[in-house]
Amino acid sequence: MSPPTEFPRVLSELVRTNQAFLNYAAIHAYTLELTLPQLDIILTLGHAFGMTFKRLGEKTLITKGTLTGIINRMEHKGLVQRIASKTDGRSQIVRLTTAGQTLFEQAVPEHLDYVNQLFKEYSLEDIATLESTLLRLRKAIFAAHGDGSEKPVDEIAGWCTQVKAVCKNYQEGDVVGLC
């Protein structure tokens, strides 16, 4: 099968679906008095004893500059704390506070139930097919970078500007992924 010669319509639908999902997920985050990136950090740190900023950024796809501001706000809310790394004096570890851990324990089941509502009409086979198709597309995208790395979108020169133009409701720092 030869590749399409014009911009595939499916990419526009993929961007729209991504934006719709982020908006949907943000509704639940706001019920917890969090932004979507803050919820992502809570969900990520809840499975760890703490992470460096670098590792947290890699896991959440939030860039270092944006991540610092989000962590500052979460620290002010008493949800996370920074501690000096015992192995590297230059880095800090971010971890959940007791309040953050309590929120994590509340948020995980609620968020999973909320997100799973989207898939109630899909069979397990449908979900597996969707997952493998999206993984294949993501691998193709990262292979096209030349180095195969999974860089956060706003670290890829020029590309983020193009994607922002496609996304109608882009808000800096509140969206992860394509937009």
Per-domain residue ranges of the chain: 9-166
pLDDT at 149: 61
- Residue 161's SS3 state is helix
Mean pLDDT for 169-173 is 40
Packing angle, helices 98-116 and 9-31, rounded to 10 = 130
Kindly state the tokens that stand for 80: 């996370």
Exposed (0-12), middle (13-18) or buried (19+): which is 75, by Cβ within 10 Å? Answer: middle
Q: Are 121 and 66 in contact (CB under 8 A)?
A: no
pLDDT at 179: 35
Exposed (0-12), middle (13-18) or buried (19+): which is 42, by Cβ within 10 Å? Answer: buried
Distance CA 94, CA 81 (A): 6
Distance CA 48, CA 103 (A): 14
pLDDT in tens, 12-53: 899 999 999 999 999 999 999 999 999 999 999 998 989 999
Kindly state the tokens that stand for 36: 């979507």
Mean pLDDT for 71-98 is 92
Is residue 103 over pLDDT 90? yes
pLDDT at 6: 65
For the domain covering 9-166, report its CATH number.
1.10.10.10
pLDDT at 18: 93
pLDDT at 156: 43
Phi, psi of 178, rounded to the nearest 5 degrees: -70, -35
pTM of the model: 0.74
Q: Are 34 and 27 in contact (CB under 8 A)?
A: no
pLDDT at 86: 85
pLDDT at 65: 86
pLDDT in tens, 77-88: 999 999 988 887
* Separation in Å, CA 169 to CA 30, 80, 107: 16, 28, 25
pLDDT at 5: 62
Q: Which residue has the higher pLDDT, 73 or 175?
A: 73
Is residue 127 over pLDDT 50? yes
Is residue 71 over pLDDT 70? yes
